[in-house]
Structure 1
Amino acid sequence: MKNNRRDFIKKAGLAGLSFAGGSLFGNMALAKNTDQKDKRNSLSMNVNMDNGDETLIGAYGDWAASMIEGKIPSHSLRGDQWSDVDEWKKAARERYADRIAVPDIGPTPAVSVDKQHSYDGLHIEEISWQLPYGPRSEGILLKPEGSTGQLPGVLAFHDHGGNKYFGKRKITRTSDSRHPLIEEHQAHYYEDVAWANELAKRGYVVLVPDAFPFASRRVLLKDVPEHLRDGLTDDNPENPENIEAYNDWAGSHESVMARSLFSAGTTWPGVFFAEDQQALNILAGRDDVDENRLGCGGLSGGGMRTVFMAGMDSRIKSSVCMGFMTTWKDLVVAKSFTHTWMTYAPILPNELDFPEILGLNLPNATFVQNCNEDGLFTLSEMHVADDILREVYDKAGVSDKYKCSFYPGGHKFDKLMQKDAYAWFDDTLKG
């Protein structure tokens, strides 16, 4: 089996991009791999661009960065024009919602419980719902077996990882049998832990929905014009070689999807938020969930989705953004090349720096987890993002509701980070 894409992602030190988020979130929208392209991408992701004159866009980098560098965005709480926190949050959220152009996708859909069973101390439900467009959305819900009453609820976001064939399965385990690519994924990025399961065991109702367009929400080859299929089909979908081929195709198709969304008058962040909010509505509406104790979190593309969700919905009382925090400047000059199309919202950098989107969730609690050798970001800009969020929370008088930690190693959510994340949720949703 050819593992060029997966091996490349590992060598580049990338984990589960785009969870989060992505990755969505998301690591990259790549065309089909070639040896030369892999080498160029790998070098680009690992190079430290904190110093020197090189930028991703050459001589235009300093000019592009100067549009936002050293300036307080117009809707930043750090600006002198904002003294009333509630007034700022209302105005900033309205502007942010306008910029990401959140589509109206209707009321909360009806939910079907397609399967349910017990596994490893957990009650597991495989659920689905129909949005006004696309195939049925699927999710996995987990809670302690035999639990009674209402528990805190957490929306757990899977990563991107350059892998759109899988979604919810990336961070869950529903039986002793796992797909070999999921075994590899969890071992490499999560230290062989299905973290959504482990969080549920601590006394939470955890919902893991498939993101747009992953797994049940993925674009099927039969639904696109034949000249875009590269000779691929949807046949025998669980075959590892077919999954690898589909993921390569889906990576190159990201730019098509992004341009289509822009042309339709919306953005990928807007679609993410609309669909993830429906999942939150489903979680919050359950009889076994305390709607006043809701959280969300995820790695990479999932960290990105955490930023979007927490920033826009005050029902999120606690969030953990894992491996997706930097500044817009970092993406201007150094790291946009390593990220998915799912990240961007035109014009917004003039009004909010990226970490300030997450800051819109204050006074609720948020925890950012960074890795010192994360090839997706420059370390200096991760620290700048931390400084920005600290200043925002300090000005709002809720500095105790913000935490940021830096861990050794590359892009990941390992057992040490998981332990700290679980403790954060315990303190902020149970304490």
Structure 2
Amino acid sequence: MKNRPKNNPFASENRNSRREFCKKSALASGAALFPFSVASEKYLVSQFTIPYKSKNMISKSSKSIIGPYGPWLADHRKDPGELSFRHATYSNVKSWKNEVLPKVQSYIGRPDIDATPAVRVTATYQYDGLDVEELEWSWPYGHPTKAILLKPQGAHKPLPAVLGLHDHGGNKYFGCRKIIKNGDQHPMMTSHQERYYEGRAWANELAKRGYVVLVHDVFTFASRRVRYHEMGPIPWGDVSTKGRSDDNPESQKNIDLYNDWASAHEHVMAKSLFCGGTTWPGMFLLEDQVALGILAERPEVDEARIGCAGLSGGGLRTNYLGGLDHRIKCAVSVGFMSTWDDFMLHKSYTHTWMTYIPLLPKLMEFPEILALRAPLPTMSMSTNDDQLYTLPEMKKAVTILEDVFTKADASDKLSCRFYPGPHKFDAVMQQDAFDWFDRWL
């Protein structure tokens, strides 16, 4: 076993559409994105008598998803924020990161858990030219994590590795199975991969290219999901009595019933996490960092050559993990790059509660979370017709990324690309992402 680095932590798709999922979830983010403390009457006067002048060129008559409050709220944040590397205060990227990273981590509120989980191998076999291991590890809370490790058949020498981060897709019943294939595939996962990945299990394709790839179920998905019968009473959404017609938990009807309930439960989980002093990104960061540590300790993995990638919810997780854990030497964020203004004024209803960090938007723009990894190699991939964002704000986010990497004298370490079509990570995009990993890992 390798020596653990000192900084190693552990210190939709439903049956209708992603749009329908978002409508059901009612994932409004207003409370999370409108935080300020009232310290005195003087503060109140200064905050509520500001002159109206929009830094975003949004007129008083412009419509937002929160009505006439949108333009004012957009002005409430300064750009660049005080933790932004674009701010005149900062000139040296290393000293900036040393100062800013602890502050960002404090806002994210990642739970402080020190133990290292014992990893159990529950099955080994070969599939499609790959060696496959089914893994499991336990936590002080919730059910054990299940994961799949894929590697070239017979691989022994240290290889580059990638932590594959599965998407959200409005489907919490499934996790790692969304981006892998290891035998008989559930019909819902076949359609999921056809819709978002051009029918490809991209984790398998990357492993065939010579990488060790680990994909794990993350907090509230699949093996880590909330079981209805284990909860205290909530006076709505009793999935135990909503028409289950058979005893097969993996029938599409029963999975749809669960996903409908889980989408409606998402705001409850988010509020409880806030009350517990953490956030959903904090929970993701904890569990993804633990999986990263498990991958780094594998004897066939070169721990100096590890990357991460994911689409949509996996892109969100890439932004946080890649930005805050520099053991990730190359990061590819797919289908999750825009601005806080885009979420606040236009698109928060299309996004999960898993996106938001209270207070942080006042200090830095959303793409600057991923930019915390500068000058390490970074790729952002977006699509022109992605229904989850507005194109102008996606392009603004890319400009912010480019400004940070240019100021860090690392323009060659950043690649931001746009592709035709809707929300996806298709074969062409996968090829470009894999080429980027080849270049840097």
Do Structure 1 and Structure 2 share a fold, with TM-score over 0.5? yes
Q: Give the Å deviation of 1:225.
A: 2.6
1:54 and 2:54 correspond: no
What corresponds to 2:200 in structure 1?
193
- 1:348 maps to 2:360: yes
Q: CA deviation at 1:103?
A: 0.4
Q: Does the 8 A contact of 2:25 with 2:266 survive in 1?
A: no
Q: CA deviation at 1:228?
A: 4.8
* Alignment deviations for residues 27-81 of structure 1 (CA, whole Å, 9 cap, x no partner): 748349xxxxxxxxxxxxxxxxx99711000010111111126x21001000110
The residue aligned with 1:407 is 419
Q: Distance in 1 between matches of 2:100 and 2:366?
A: 13
Matching residue of 2:305: 293
Letter paired with 1:358 = L
Tell whether the 8 Å contact from 1:68 to 1:329 is kept in structure 2 after alignment. no
In structure 2, relative to structure 1, the CA distance for the partners of 1:95 and 1:28 (3 Å cut) is farther
Residue 229 of structure 2 is aligned to residue 222 of structure 1: yes
Q: Structure 1 residues 60, 229: closer, same or farther in 2, change over 3 A?
A: closer
Q: Deviations over 1:118-138 (max 9, x none)?
A: 000000000000011110011
Match of 2:169 among 153, 161, 186: 161
Return the offset for 1:232: 1.7
Whose relative contact order is higher, 1 or 2, with alpha carbons under 8 Å and at least 6 apart?
A: 1
Residues 338 and 361 (structure 1 numbering): CA distance in 2 closer, same or farther, change over 3 Å?
same
The answer as to whether partners of 1:29 and 1:252 remain within 8 angstroms in 2 is no
Question: In the alignment, does 2:268 pair up with 1:256?
Answer: yes
Paired residue type of 1:83: S
Total equivalences in the alignment: 394
Change (3 A) 1:261 1:113: same
Quick one: distance in 2 between partners of 1:58 and 1:285?
51
Q: Which residue is equivalent to 1:357?
A: 369
Q: What residue number does 2:17 align with?
A: 8
2:58 aligned with 1:64 = no
TM-score scaled by length of structure 2: 0.86
- CA deviations 1:9-30 (Å, max 9, x no partner) are 2xx4x9xxxxxxxxxxxx7483
Aligned to 1:316: 328
Distance 1:171 1:231 in 2: 30
CA distance in 1, matches of 2:365, 2:180: 33
Quick check: 1:165–1:215 contact (8 Å CA) kept in 2?
A: yes
RMSD: 1.9
Residues 311-338 of structure 1, C-alpha deviations (whole Å, 9 max, x = no match): 1111100010000000111111001111
Q: 1:188 to 1:31 in 2, by over 3 A?
A: same
Residue 365 of structure 1 aligns with an amino acid whose one-letter code is P
Which entry has the higher C-alpha Rg, 1 or 2?
Answer: 2
Matched residue SS, 1:246: helix
Q: 1:370 aligns with which of 365, 375, 382?
A: 382
Tell whether 2:149 aligns with 1:149: no
Deviations 1:166-206 (A, max 9, x none): 0000000001x211111110111111000000000001000
Question: TM-score by structure 1 length?
Answer: 0.88
**2:24 corresponds to 1:30:** yes
Using a 3 Å threshold, how does the CA distance of structure 1 residues 146 and 132 change in structure 2: closer, same or farther? same
Whole-Å Cα distance in 2 between the matches of residues 286 and 64 of structure 1? Answer: 48
Q: 1:334 to 1:93 in 2, by over 3 A?
A: same
Structure 2 vs 1, CA of residues 30 and 105 (structure 1 numbering), >3 Å: closer, same or farther? Answer: farther
- Whether the 8 Å CA contact 1:31–1:249 is kept in 2: the answer is no
Name the residue aligned to 1:335: 347
CA distance in 2, matches of 1:107, 1:229: 37
Give the Cα–Cα distance (whole angstroms) in 2 for the partners of residues 282 and 335 of structure 1.
36
Question: What is the deviation of 1:111?
Answer: 0.2
Q: Distance in 1 between matches of 2:87 and 2:13?
A: 47
